[in-house]
Structure 1
Amino acid sequence: MSDSDSQRDHASIFSVAEIESAVGAIEIPGGAAAMREAMSRRHFNALRMHRSAADLDFETKPVDWYSLGCKATATDVRPSRTLAYAGGDFYLQDSGSLLALAAAGCDTDELAGQRVCDLCAAPGGKASALLEAIGDDGFLLANEPIRSRIAPLKYNLARTGSDRYAISSLDPDRLADKVGSEFDLVLVDAPCSGQALVSRGKQNPAAMTDKQVQHSASRQNRILDAAVRLLKPGGRLVYSTCTFAVDENEAQMQRLVDADWGTPASVTNLSDYQSASGCYRLWPHLHDCAGAFAASMQLADSFPTRTAKLSRKKSRNETRVSEKQLPKDWKQWYRESASKPLNYHIDGSVLFGFAADAPAWVESVAVAGPELAYRTGQTWKPSHEAAMRKGNAAMALQTHEVDEASARNFMAGSTISCPDRGWRIAQHQDRPLGWIKSDGRVGKNHLPGSARW
């Protein structure tokens, strides 16, 4: 069965009446029948451009609600098989998911230098945008409660080229207890009934049932209550879902406002999509995307703060190490430190380098972060995540510039010619692609399987 057939089958499960009932007390612009038909169509992913990205070599059209978003105009273009994508110039995601990033101001400079948290961060589409937006002086905590989802989150954060982050894996309530009121902005992309996922063929009939909506809403209540506790007084909460039900969307924000915890924070650039004060919607039949909801609220200045509980409990295998204790081949791979000093930690077979000016609570909650090296048996090797570092975060000593043909061969997993010996980063037009280890003739490919074409 093709993807389009699967999408039609999923959308045809629901009647117009079922869709109207599931959405709830809000008028569907253009009607539920048009919405139902649009949910059976494929919506191509958008490109969320990195701020330092080079010009693309294919034509695009803009995403109206996000200035760093665009879509390929030709349907036969495969952005994920371009060297620009391999080098981290853009991230692929449904254009609806960019609504929350617009609400957070990720396509402006307003997050530069701020301390932000993505509370439900995997697979990293929104977290990586936040990381790019905070720049060289901000800090991101990407929290993913489900441990099995951390691997793609790590990979996508590394693609940004930044080292200004840590990854935690805690229930939101427990994270709020441990960290306290620390953040200028918290983004909650909440688990939901997933009604918008129907248009991607990824959801079952329960998505439209009241039982599923109420179950999701109850879960969201708890997550949002924890998110508020993580904010500094006057901080900002951005909330998003991939569902249409009012009970999971506008009603959630109204609950917080009614509790006098904050006030809606309007986003001027999103006024065309407003559904309630501080709330915004995209519809599959109007905006060529799966659909999305996002809202912005400013926490009351009088909201009580909570102090971090900084008890330091190391994992069984974790050790902070000095530069003198780093792997013996370290100086063949990296400068001694990036532009800002690092705190080095070995956790089992992985070496992380956290920014030395990271918040004090990072060491008590982090399960991962900017990876520098990993060990197989007794041998340490430089990590692919470190190869992707850019700008002030770059650490690699040696690079090897390759032409387009060699770059494509490298991304496919092949060896490439290299006249210099040792470890170095293959790069194309100054975009890092990954590590090679050369014997002076051939560079052995150390690109991880997940990054290969």
Structure 2
Amino acid sequence: MPLPQLFLDKMRELLREEYEAFAASYDEEKAQGLRVNPLKASVQEFVRIAPFALSGVPWASEGFYYGKEDRPGKHPYHEAGLIYIQEPSAMAVGALVNPLPGETVLDLCAAPGGKTTHLAGRMNGEGLLVANEPHPARAKILSQNVERMGVRNAVVTNEMPDRLAERFSVFFDRILVDAPCSGEGMFRKDPDACAEWSPDHVTMCASRQLDILESAARMLKPGGRLVYSTCTFSPEENEGTISRFAELHPEFALEDAQAYEGFDRGRADWTSDAAPGIGETLRLWPHRIRGDGHYAAVLRKMDGEEQPVRRKYPKSLTDRKALKDYFAFAEETLTDTPAGEFTLFGDQLYLLPSGMLTLDQLKVVRPGWHLGTLKKNRFEPSHALALSLKGEEVRNRLSLHADSPQTFAYLKGEALQAEGPKGWHLVEVDGYSLGWGKLAEGTLKNHFPKGLRWPG
């Protein structure tokens, strides 16, 4: 698809002597990247077993470029959640947020989940991660990716930012606003973004971004970190949005965002009334690095006392009788019974992350770690539970190799022949959890979700 002429004219004016190199980048193959999931495997461990041609992404320790002949998204390791396919420039954002285990973290515009799962990996299962996406269909995809990556400590919500701000006032240690934008940096891979572009669309996005940042400001604790990012080149949506926000919120200060070779800095001369420190923000250009376009700013909330806020926490399900089938399953199948604050959504059983506030009157897609379904006189474990477990956490498992015909048969939903005790078995690929099977009389009934099964 040809690029909009008004866009090209604008970029020519901004980039001047760099414009020809920028324009030529659209004729080059886009960089392909994947990110290792440390909840499943260490980087060193994955590099040792990876059947792909990998080279490191400098700005993300978990990130790698892969060869154009590779298809990691069609490999069993992808289904096992060892990797997330992510555009390399986008990996810089999660690295800037850099959450610590035990913190409270919000990804405010989170779908499809690349940055959310990056944050989750760095949190190492400790603390609370709230991933929000206002669009219902995209929120469902976000939830599926949280599940695939084996994240236990995340809640997925489907709310507008101002609604979340009412519930989570002065609550989070770190917030990521990967804002909806005009998508200029994605033109190489997203024809829809190219077709939707117009100067009016840029103006609309900039206004919406400021509204989202207003909500984020209300939810961040004093001393907390706010990272703002877009995948556009537009100064109105980047330096302009941040400068307007900083003017409205003197309690926030821009911090130096770590730059790597090829990174550019924000341009004070591209917006009126540029905020102090706008030159500490980052611009990633496709003609300077192996990646698409991105912008990122890091802000610290310097002032503001933590006002006493009345928090309402969820009521835990403590009825052992209601949970007896779950505990029976856990006793029979797991080496250690997951326990904590239980909640039921219909017949679906979840464990709430520690510190989560009440979910009442919020649109919630995933209220925590999905354990399974309470059916009449039995408990059926979820796919999310399987993907978040390690082999030593179950009593029975069936170990397969990535290149085994049995692995592909399992991913297609076929039953397998196996020996072992009757009951639930965790199916693994090269030692990494892939899903459930239930063994009886030498046949393992396949419980890999029907919607995820590979074509026969």
- Normalised by the length of structure 1, the TM-score is 0.85
Write out aligned runs for 1:401-420 (5 A). 401-404=399-402, 405=404, 406-420=406-420
Return 5+ residue gaps in structure 1 as ranges. Answer: 1-8
Deviation at 1:256, TM superposition (A): 2.5
C-alpha distance 360-251 of structure 1, shift in aligned 2 (>3 A): same
Deviation at 1:271, TM superposition (A): 7.1
Q: Does 1:136 align with 2:125?
A: yes
| 1:398 alignment counterpart | 396
User: In structure 2, what is the Cα distance between the partners aligned to 1:148 and 1:281?
Assistant: 30
User: In structure 1, what is the Cα distance between the partners aligned to 2:153 and 2:234?
Assistant: 35
Deviation at 1:217, TM superposition (A): 0.6
Deviation at 1:243, TM superposition (A): 1.2
C-alpha distance 332-380 of structure 1, shift in aligned 2 (>3 A): closer
Is the 2:72–2:78 Cα contact (8 Å) retained in structure 1? yes
| 1:94 alignment counterpart | 87
C-alpha distance 25-165 of structure 1, shift in aligned 2 (>3 A): farther
C-alpha distance 419-339 of structure 1, shift in aligned 2 (>3 A): closer
C-alpha distance 234-222 of structure 1, shift in aligned 2 (>3 A): same
Deviates more, 1:196-205 or 1:244-253: 196-205
Residue number among 19, 24, 45 corresponding to 1:37 in the alignment: 24
| 2:269 alignment counterpart | none
User: In structure 2, what is the Cα distance between the partners aligned to 1:138 and 1:262?
Assistant: 24
C-alpha distance 35-413 of structure 1, shift in aligned 2 (>3 A): farther
Deviation at 1:212, TM superposition (A): 0.3
Residue number among 201, 206, 217 corresponding to 2:206 in the alignment: 217
| 1:325 alignment counterpart | 322
User: In structure 2, what is the Cα distance between the partners aligned to 1:68 and 1:245?
Assistant: 29
Give, as a single letter, the amino acid of the residue that structure 2 aligns with 1:172. Answer: P
User: In structure 2, what is the Cα distance between the partners aligned to 1:376 and 1:221?
Assistant: 46
Deviation at 1:161, TM superposition (A): 2.3
C-alpha distance 205-70 of structure 1, shift in aligned 2 (>3 A): closer
Q: Does 1:198 align with 2:178?
A: no
Give, as a single letter, the amino acid of the residue that structure 1 aligns with 2:396. Answer: Q
Is the 2:325–2:377 Cα contact (8 Å) retained in structure 1? no
Is the 2:347–2:373 Cα contact (8 Å) retained in structure 1? yes
Is the 2:262–2:288 Cα contact (8 Å) retained in structure 1? no
Residue number among 34, 49, 57 corresponding to 2:51 in the alignment: 57
Is the 1:273–1:280 Cα contact (8 Å) retained in structure 2? yes
User: In structure 1, what is the Cα distance between the partners aligned to 2:417 and 2:62?
Assistant: 36
Is the 1:25–1:246 Cα contact (8 Å) retained in structure 2? no
Residue number among 278, 281, 306 corresponding to 1:279 in the alignment: 281
| 2:274 alignment counterpart | none
Deviation at 1:88, TM superposition (A): 1.5
| 2:106 alignment counterpart | 117
Residues 178-197 of structure 1 show CA distances to partners (whole Å, capped at 9, x for unaligned) of 11111110001111111222
Residue number among 346, 349, 361 corresponding to 2:347 in the alignment: 349
| 1:289 alignment counterpart | 291
C-alpha distance 309-274 of structure 1, shift in aligned 2 (>3 A): farther
C-alpha distance 433-391 of structure 1, shift in aligned 2 (>3 A): closer
Is the 1:192–1:213 Cα contact (8 Å) retained in structure 2? yes
C-alpha distance 248-428 of structure 1, shift in aligned 2 (>3 A): same
Is the 1:418–1:438 Cα contact (8 Å) retained in structure 2? yes
Give SS of 1:34's match.
Answer: helix
Give, as a single letter, the amino acid of the residue that structure 1 aligns with 2:437. Answer: I
Residues 79-109 of structure 1 show CA distances to partners (whole Å, capped at 9, x for unaligned) of 112232222211001112112112212xxxx
User: In structure 1, what is the Cα distance between the partners aligned to 2:335 and 2:226?
Assistant: 34
Deviates more, 1:383-392 or 1:438-447: 383-392
User: In structure 1, what is the Cα distance between the partners aligned to 2:259 and 2:7?
Assistant: 32
C-alpha distance 362-134 of structure 1, shift in aligned 2 (>3 A): farther
User: In structure 1, what is the Cα distance between the partners aligned to 2:418 and 2:327?
Assistant: 21
Write out aligned runs for 1:131-210 (5 A). 131-205=120-194, 207-210=196-199
Residue number among 233, 247, 255 corresponding to 1:265 in the alignment: 255
Give SS of 1:285's match.
Answer: coil
Deviation at 1:328, TM superposition (A): 2.3
Is the 2:326–2:374 Cα contact (8 Å) retained in structure 1? no
Give, as a single letter, the amino acid of the residue that structure 2 aligns with 1:296. Answer: V
C-alpha distance 364-113 of structure 1, shift in aligned 2 (>3 A): farther
| 1:48 alignment counterpart | 35
Give, as a single letter, the amino acid of the residue that structure 1 aligns with 2:301. Answer: L
Is the 2:128–2:154 Cα contact (8 Å) retained in structure 1? yes
The percent of aligned pairs where both chains have the same amino acid is 27
Is the 2:325–2:374 Cα contact (8 Å) retained in structure 1? no
Give, as a single letter, the amino acid of the residue that structure 1 aligns with 2:51. Answer: D
Q: Does 1:80 align with 2:68?
A: no
Residues 288-335 of structure 1 show CA distances to partners (whole Å, capped at 9, x for unaligned) of 3232111111112x2354555545799xxxx83534312626523566
User: In structure 1, what is the Cα distance between the partners aligned to 2:24 and 2:378?
Assistant: 56
Give, as a single letter, the amino acid of the residue that structure 1 aligns with 2:386. Answer: A
Give, as a single letter, the amino acid of the residue that structure 1 aligns with 2:447. Answer: H
Give, as a single letter, the amino acid of the residue that structure 1 aligns with 2:60. Answer: Y
Residues 112-137 of structure 1 show CA distances to partners (whole Å, capped at 9, x for unaligned) of 22111001111111111111111233
Is the 1:185–1:236 Cα contact (8 Å) retained in structure 2? yes
C-alpha distance 271-36 of structure 1, shift in aligned 2 (>3 A): closer
Deviation at 1:206, TM superposition (A): 5.5
Deviation at 1:44, TM superposition (A): 4.2
Deviation at 1:402, TM superposition (A): 2.3
Residues 175-222 of structure 1 show CA distances to partners (whole Å, capped at 9, x for unaligned) of 111111111100011111112222113325554421000101111010
Q: Does 1:27 align with 2:15?
A: yes
Give, as a single letter, the amino acid of the residue that structure 2 aligns with 1:63. Answer: V
Give, as a single letter, the amino acid of the residue that structure 2 aligns with 1:359. Answer: M
- Normalised by the length of structure 2, the TM-score is 0.85
